[in-house]
Structure 1
Amino acid sequence: MSEKWTTADIPDQRGRVAVVTGANTGLGYETAAALAERGASVVLAVRDVEKGERAAARMTGDATVQALDLTSLASVRTAAAELRSRFDRIDLLINNAGVMYTPQQTTADGFELQFGTNHLGHFALTGLLLDLMLPVPGSRVVTVSSTGHRIRAAIHFDDLQWERAYSRVGAYGQSKLANLMFTYELQRRLASHGTTVAVAAHPGVSSTELARNTPAALRLPLTRLAPLIAQTPAMGALPTLRAATDPATLGGQYYGPGGRRGVKGHPLLVTSSPDSYDIAVQQRLWAVSEELTGVTFPVAGLQENPLPAGSR
């Protein structure tokens, strides 16, 4: 593998099934397109099926569409059931879809929109599909976090849904911190199975539609800075693609751009915030997430299993 890892370093993906959420645009599209081009059978799991079909038509290779609305647990369950009827195995589940800095809103199930979409929807989807992955050697769950997991970020167990006082930045930070804590706790639970691993990635600063809800006070400065600091969606997708396909990747690792402050650059192993490695909080978040979603995983907790060397 080259020091400047690119899509040219993706191994042959023929025979593999990859499910990518939010794959009709931006980072998800670039991720799915690269996997399809390397031979994977890619499923674009998207809320807008028409947009998904148009995106799939632009890809080279085997790309199909699955309706999935992460803001509805009923939709997540339906999508999982339909995927289970279509496939007897899944090699890659890439939890990419997300929302950022949205005004205060709730999901169909009453969850704060960012926490419900970015974390709880993906938590439920993973739990409902995981038994299709456990028998598959080399299978991976890749969850996309963000450098935003460091900004005003904590798991507010006393007010997970931000009902008392809403901060769109704080709620986003909580959801992205939850993505990492979910990955690390999932890896501990997977460790004894020896097949599936859980990995995380972040795209740095990329020019995508995700920032459309940025608060007005930040929008103008960011618009001016974007040409200087942002990278293309294709570059932003590389950490996810490396986490998903690099043969050297270990469970519990975290990939991001290798440039200054993780803003852009080719993907390398990076570290997440000290708070993200708090095992007690990870386990408490897991228990709360199971309770809120009604989804339990076919893997038991293994508290004494550490994350692999190099994951911090």
Structure 2
Amino acid sequence: MEHTIVMTGASRGIGRVAAEHLLRRSPDAHLLVVARGSSGAQLAAEFGAGGHTVSHVSADLGSLASVRSAAGEIRDRLDRGDLPPLHGLVGNAGMQYTNALTEGPDGFEATFAVNVLANHLFVRLLQDRFTAPARIVITASDTHFGDFKHNLGMVPGPAWKSPGVLARTGAFSKPDTAAGGRTAYSTSKLAAIYLVHEYARRLPAGIDAVAYNPGFVPGTGLARNAGPVSRFAMRRIMPVMTLTPFATSRSAAGRYLADVVLGTTYAPTGSYVDRSRADRSSQESYDPQREGELWEAAERFTAAYAAKADTCSGDMTSGSPR
């Protein structure tokens, strides 16, 4: 049956590989890529040349107004019948800065805006357009464990604070340093898992939410805001680690992501998928109080942009665990 999969972060790295797998293995899929500027159109043209059905919507994920506009366009296209029923949303785009002081246009710390709020707003604005069975997949990271086993000492562990603090610049120690930026990243990935747990509680039956961890994947665009030495190491030196159990190649990570989206990997709603199988995330990531607080904060932060959709969609704000 023809269906639509909306995907962010499809233009490079594991997202590009996953998109190729989705189109090849699910020929009835209409892949709608969300990307900045002309990259979405270019990607749609490249994939379309292979006979696949791909379209695009432009959005700057650091801007909630831009996310709202993109989601609104997707809603309109679904309502007009220009797109087949929506069965998937893949929030794969992620950002890591060299500090924790970068502020987005809405006044939020940029890592938190892209890695947490953009995904949440997409879920909220498209929630009533999903046709079951449907699946939401949010790319997480094993940096949220905060131990050497999972990050090889390269990324500081999360430093959880109240969501109102995390959403603003300067939330972490030495916020003007790369360590501050990496702490913002690992903390944002912990936040993503918290929200997946809330989606699992609140979304209607038949719409599943899953967190996906690709593991450490050298050679992706995640370090594009790092200094030249770090970028060189990620591109030329770290890829050798894929020959060891400590890292995942782009091709494998992208394939695993496609497996989760397509349901090939068994993952009930609320699951954390570590590469190729559902597993436990960190002990810290199971905290109903934090999950509820983050949900309420994300609702407040995105309220002005979700208000229009709320008037014509089901209310998730008072959902209960399933």
Q: Which moved more, 1:61-70 or 1:212-221?
A: 212-221
Q: Tell whether 2:190 aligns with 1:177.
A: yes
Counterpart selection for 1:281 from 270, 273, 290: 290
Question: Alpha-carbon deviations, 1:192-244, whole Å to 9, x = none?
Answer: x3211111101112221112334678667655343123443221123322221
Q: Matched residues, percent identical?
A: 29
Q: Distance in 2 between matches of 1:154 and 1:235?
A: 30
Q: Tell whether 2:206 aligns with 1:189.
A: no
Counterpart selection for 1:159 from 165, 181, 189: 165
What is aligned with 2:150?
none
Q: Which moved more, 1:235-244 or 1:196-205?
A: 235-244
What is aligned with 1:70?
61
Q: Report the count of equivalent residues.
A: 278
What is the Cα deviation at residue 149 of structure 1?
1.6
Contact 2:8 2:92 in 1 (8 A): yes
| 1:280 partner SS | helix
What is aligned with 1:55?
43
Structure with the bigger RCO (C-alpha within 8 Å, sep 6+) is 2
Contact 1:255 1:268 in 2 (8 A): yes
What is aligned with 1:148?
143
Q: Distance in 2 between matches of 1:282 and 1:217?
A: 37
Q: Tell whether 2:114 aligns with 1:117.
A: yes
TM-score under structure 1 normalisation? 0.82
Q: Given residue 141 of structure 2, which amino acid in structure 1 is its aligned partner?
A: S
Mark the runs of 5 or more structure 1 residues left unpaired by the alignment: 1-13, 258-266, 306-312
Q: Distance in 1 between matches of 2:230 and 2:22?
A: 34
Mark the runs of 5 or more structure 2 residues left unpaired by the alignment: 80-84, 147-156
Q: Given residue 163 of structure 1, which amino acid in structure 2 is its aligned partner?
A: G
What is the Cα deviation at residue 274 of structure 1?
0.9
What is the Cα deviation at residue 57 of structure 1?
2.3
Question: Alpha-carbon deviations, 1:248-284, whole Å to 9, x = none?
Answer: 4310112123xxxxxxxxx111221111110110000
Contact 1:239 1:256 in 2 (8 A): no
Counterpart selection for 2:78 from 87, 106, 122: 87
| 1:237 partner SS | helix
Contact 2:210 2:270 in 1 (8 A): yes
Flag the 1:137–1:220 CA change in 2: closer, same or farther, 3 A. Answer: closer
Q: Tell whether 2:261 aligns with 1:244.
A: yes
Contact 2:102 2:169 in 1 (8 A): no
| 1:58 partner SS | helix
Q: Which moved more, 1:18-27 or 1:291-300?
A: 291-300
TM-score under structure 2 normalisation? 0.80
What is the Cα deviation at residue 128 of structure 1?
0.6
Question: Alpha-carbon deviations, 1:49-82, whole Å to 9, x = none?
Answer: x222222222231011111111111101111110
Flag the 1:298–1:237 CA change in 2: closer, same or farther, 3 A. Answer: farther
